[in-house]
Amino acid sequence: MAGECRLVLGGARSGKSAFAERMARNTELERHYIATSRIYDDAHAARIELHRQARAADQWTVHEEPLALREVLIEQAAAERVVLVDCLTLWLTNLLLDQSDIEAAFEGLEQALPSLPGTVIFVANEVGLSVAPETKLGNQFRDWAGTLNQRVARHAAQVDFIAAGLPLRLKG
């Protein structure tokens, strides 16, 4: 039996992750967290460590996976679980930097979504509302991010946009 897919969008530091975490905590389901970020520098490492500590204190089962998102979702999604993926945008960053086949990765994720049991909540940055990037890589990133958000939103039963910590329901 397929579950429910949700998508939480917003800008950087908009409150989207906190909103998604509250959404997951408001269920009676076992909570799993798929973190897609890699450690890029000391400041980022410190931030990730704070997240690790907070998730452990809040009784999340954490899976750190920068690339094999589809595979971890298939392994971890279950009827009795809510799986929060934070975030799709960092996953895309990893794919771009590794020069992965992005279309194949998106297609694999999209094909898996309809059959995932339980609740899956995706967090992603909405990057199309800012100034146009000045570099080719920046433009590719913005375009791929927009494409990924649209593809996941098509499968989502609920889509929320977060600004200043406040949700705006876009779908569902």
Catalytic residue (choose from 32, 44, 51, 63): 51
Q: Tokens 């309809």 identify what position?
A: 114
Alpha carbon 110 to chain centroid distance?
A: 13
Sign of the dihedral through C-alpha 29, 50, 121, 70: negative
Q: Are 171 and 158 in contact (CB under 8 A)?
A: yes
Coil/strand/helix, residue 1: coil
Identify the CA nearest to 6 among candidates 156, 142, 169, 107: 156
Identify the CA nearest to 127 among candidates 118, 137, 117: 137
Q: Are 85 and 36 in contact (CB under 8 A)?
A: yes
* Tokens at 118, concatenated: 């339980």
- Asked about 51 being catalytic, the answer comes back as yes
Q: Are 7 and 145 in contact (CB under 8 A)?
A: no
Residue positions annotated with a catalytic role: 51
